[in-house]
């Protein structure tokens, strides 16, 4: 081979190398652009990750705060319910005590009234009996009257009510 042929082959080889180098440069620049795009995506993902971590921390603190408030509310509600129950128990026992004492008062008053009326009836009966004995007249109707008074006493004790009409008719019987 001659020098001219060698130079031509070297020239062709050099041109091939230059083309290959230029293609590699183009590929290299394309790869650099892709690397830049990927780096931008990584930065975006890292930023999103940080935002998510901040959101997660906010949610955790909100959840902790919500749990604290829920526990406080539950304890407050339990405390209020306890107070209400104690008030209801106190008012129930007071009500029972007051009902018992008022029932006792009503019964005592009723018994006193009944006893007073019974004493009055007995006193009237005795007075009329004495008047009739003084007059010397003790009619048979007087026996009927004493039976009526006894019946009246039994009715009063049974019904625990004062029948004013019956009392008036009995008193009218004494006057006749």
Q: Model pTM greater than 0.75? A: no
pLDDT tens by residue, 91-118: 666 656 655 555 555 565 555 555 665 6
Q: Up-side HSE of residue 83: CA atoms within 13 Å toward CB?
A: 6
Q: Are residues 115 and 165 in the same domain?
A: yes
Q: Does residue 16 belong to any structural domain of this protein?
A: yes
Q: Does residue 99 belong to any structural domain of this protein?
A: no
Q: In this prediction, what percent of the chain has a pLDDT beyond 90?
A: 39
Q: Are residues 84 and 131 in the same domain?
A: no
Handedness of CA 82, 88, 91, 92 (dihedral sign): negative
Q: Does residue 169 belong to any structural domain of this protein?
A: yes
Q: Are residues 122 and 163 in the same domain?
A: yes
Q: Does residue 103 belong to any structural domain of this protein?
A: no
Q: Are residues 159 and 125 in the same domain?
A: yes
Range of the structural domain that residue 128 is part of:
108-176
- Residue 83 confidence class, pLDDT cut points 50, 70, 90: confident
SS3 content of the chain, % helix, strand, coil (to 5): 95, 0, 5
Q: Does residue 52 belong to any structural domain of this protein?
A: no
- Residue 138 DSSP symbol: -
Q: Are residues 32 and 4 in the same domain?
A: yes
What's the average model confidence in pLDDT over 39-60? Answer: 94
pLDDT tens by residue, 123-145: 676 776 666 666 654 444 555 55
CA angle 113, 150, 124 (to 5 degrees): 60
Domain count for the chain, please give it: 3
pLDDT tens by residue, 148-170: 666 666 655 555 556 677 777 77
């Amino acid at each position: 081979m001659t020098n001219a042929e060698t130079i031509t082959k070297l020239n062709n080889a050099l041109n091939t190398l230059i083309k290959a180098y230029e293609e590699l440069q183009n590929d290299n620049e394309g790869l650099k652009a892709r690397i830049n795009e990927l780096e931008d995506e990584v930065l975006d993902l890292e930023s999103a990750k940080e935002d998510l971590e901040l959101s997660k921390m906010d949610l955790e603190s909100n959840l902790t705060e919500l749990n604290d408030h829920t526990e406080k509310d539950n304890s407050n509600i339990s405390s209020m319910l306890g107070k209400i129950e104690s008030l209801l128990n106190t008012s129930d026992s007071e009500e029972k005590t007051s009902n018992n004492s008022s029932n006792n008062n009503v019964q005592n008053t009723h018994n006193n009234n009944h006893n007073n009326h019974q004493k009055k009836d007995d006193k009237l009966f005795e007075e009329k009996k004495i008047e009739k004995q003084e007059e010397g007249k003790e009619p048979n109707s007087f026996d009927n009257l004493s039976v009526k008074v006894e019946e009246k006493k039994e009715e009063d004790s049974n019904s625990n009510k004062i029948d004013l009409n019956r009392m008036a008719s009995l008193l009218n019987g004494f006057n006749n």
